[in-house]
Structure 1
Amino acid sequence: MLKTLFLATVAVAMPAAATVSVTFDDLINSGPFLVVSNPYTSPQGVVFTNDSPNAEALIAWGSSDSANADPGGATLVNNYSFTSTTISGPSRFTLTAIDFADPFAGAVGGDILLRFLFTDSTTADLTLSLSGDAGLTRFTLGIGNLSAVTYTPLTTRGPWVQVDNVVLDDVVFGGVVPEPASWALMIAGFGLVGAAARRRVVVA
């Protein structure tokens, strides 16, 4: 009984991993563009912070604007050249996929630098290249154990870039989910604690 109660308490205390898809559709607007707060926090709790000190550092194109790579929807755009935007919020996540586009949704290519910050504080860089087709280019990555990702347009027009459909898996807010090996050790330990508790009860 004690072991069952202890395990139930631990299960409640441990944060659950989830999947999050940020579409920016909460930013849909009918104007030429919408100035977005910086940092911008999505309804799912994912934070996008641009390093520009300017008040209009982030914008979303209007739903019918020809520059919008997601017609009828919305994308997030850095409004100043040579700036970086950091994706954060969860304490751990996997960047499964992300869409980038030319800032004006044109058939123009360019490179974007991604810098990954892992939960162990190490970093790694990856350069993505737009396809050169009009609209969004989908990048499937599947890079896990991240605490933040920073993207910086390098050779796109501006350089600016618009982003959409950010898919995060294994998302954890407010804590870190143990690795499988750690779970195994924890469960074994819980079993020993429960067995010891039973013996004490029997002896008493």
Structure 2
Amino acid sequence: MKKYLAAAVALAAFGGSAQAATFVFVPGSDALLPTETITYDFNSAANDGSVTGTNFIFQSGTNSQGAAPGAGDNSRYLSVLTDGVANIDFGSAGLSSFSIDIGSLDSFNTLTLQFADGTTQAFTGTELVAGPADGNQVEDRTNGRFRFTSTAGERITGLILASANNAFEVDNIATTAAAPVPEPATWAMMIAGFGLVGGVARRRSRTASLLA
């Protein structure tokens, strides 16, 4: 199958600042980065409650309610059906980035990122792929791993998957924990520490000058 060049695309955030997050599409691949850990593989019914919303199912294989993601591992996956919505919460601390296997992308699929400041950023299937988002279940151009990365100062706190028709199929969400933002007291201690180091350096320089 023809390989398509992975493309980084920045889009405007709805209700917020521009370029709140960018994404890279790796066609035909489900490979993870060394810093990523799979958080949602949808393989265990015990974890199904972590996904909320309406009109979605967890299943394996391919049928009228969804097709197993072409770049995935052929295990159980999440399929959002007609007029369905699936919400996935990443927690209030948020993430700096995450990646996800998406299969047979259609133009009527929409992926929306939620940010800690309350803004959102939506990507349609057409915006996510370089060629037609026509639901092809085999070709690399509509199957692969998408990696979303927030811009500086942003935290991705949630993911909304919606579809106007059957179906929107995803699997193996891998996350990268966001670096914690220092508290004001921590900043004050850091600044004081820098000042102390600078004072010691100046004192040593002055002492060396007197001895010269």
What's the TM-score once normalised by structure 1's chain length? 0.53
Query: Distance in 2 between the 1:182 and 1:126 partners?
Result: 38
Residue pair 1:20, 1:171 contacting (<8 A) in 2 also: no
**By how many angstroms is 1:93 displaced?**
1.3
Compared CA separation, residues 159 and 118, structure 1 to 2 (3 A): same
Asked if 1:61 corresponds to 2:60, the answer is yes
**By how many angstroms is 1:180 displaced?**
9.4
Query: Which secondary structure state, in structure 2, belongs to the residue aligned with residue 83 of structure 1?
Result: strand
Identity of aligned residues (%): 14
2:76 partner letter:
A
2:159 partner letter:
V
Residue pair 1:23, 1:164 contacting (<8 A) in 2 also: yes
Residue pair 1:86, 1:149 contacting (<8 A) in 2 also: yes
Structure 2 counterpart of 1:117: 114
Structure 2 counterpart of 1:126: 123
**By how many angstroms is 1:122 displaced?**
1.8
Structure 2 counterpart of 1:166: 173
Asked if 1:49 corresponds to 2:52, the answer is yes
Compared CA separation, residues 190 and 124, structure 1 to 2 (3 A): same
Query: Distance in 1 between the 2:193 and 2:54 partners?
Result: 46
Residue pair 2:86, 2:162 contacting (<8 A) in 1 also: yes
Residue pair 2:42, 2:171 contacting (<8 A) in 1 also: no
Residue pair 1:99, 1:137 contacting (<8 A) in 2 also: yes
1:163 partner letter:
V
Structure 2 counterpart of 1:6: none
Query: Distance in 2 between the 1:58 and 1:113 partners?
Result: 17
Residue pair 1:96, 1:142 contacting (<8 A) in 2 also: yes
Q: Any idea what the Cα deviations from partners look like across 1:42-80, whole Å, max 9, x if unmatched?
A: xxxxx322234xxxx4222159xx9433454221112x4
What's the TM-score once normalised by structure 2's chain length? 0.51
**By how many angstroms is 1:85 displaced?**
0.9
Structure 1 counterpart of 2:84: 83
Asked if 1:139 corresponds to 2:138, the answer is no
Query: When the two structures are aligned, how many residues end up with a matched partner?
Result: 142
Flag structure 1 segments of 5+ consecutive residues without an equivalent. Answer: 1-17, 28-35, 42-46, 103-107, 193-204
Residue pair 1:23, 1:74 contacting (<8 A) in 2 also: no
Query: Distance in 1 between the 2:193 and 2:36 partners?
Result: 29
1:168 partner letter:
T
Residue pair 1:85, 1:150 contacting (<8 A) in 2 also: yes
Match among 3, 9, 22 for residue 39 of structure 2: 22
Q: Any idea what the Cα deviations from partners look like across 1:110-152, whole Å, max 9, x if unmatched?
A: 3421222211112222223365542533222213501111111
**By how many angstroms is 1:190 displaced?**
8.1
Query: Distance in 2 between the 1:171 and 1:51 partners?
Result: 29
Flag structure 2 segments of 5+ consecutive residues without an equivalent. Answer: 1-34, 196-212
Asked if 1:40 corresponds to 2:48, the answer is yes
Compared CA separation, residues 179 and 83, structure 1 to 2 (3 A): farther
Q: Any idea what the Cα deviations from partners look like across 1:156-203, whole Å, max 9, x if unmatched?
A: xx331110121221258xxxx2159985445336899xxxxxxxxxxx
Asked if 1:74 corresponds to 2:76, the answer is yes
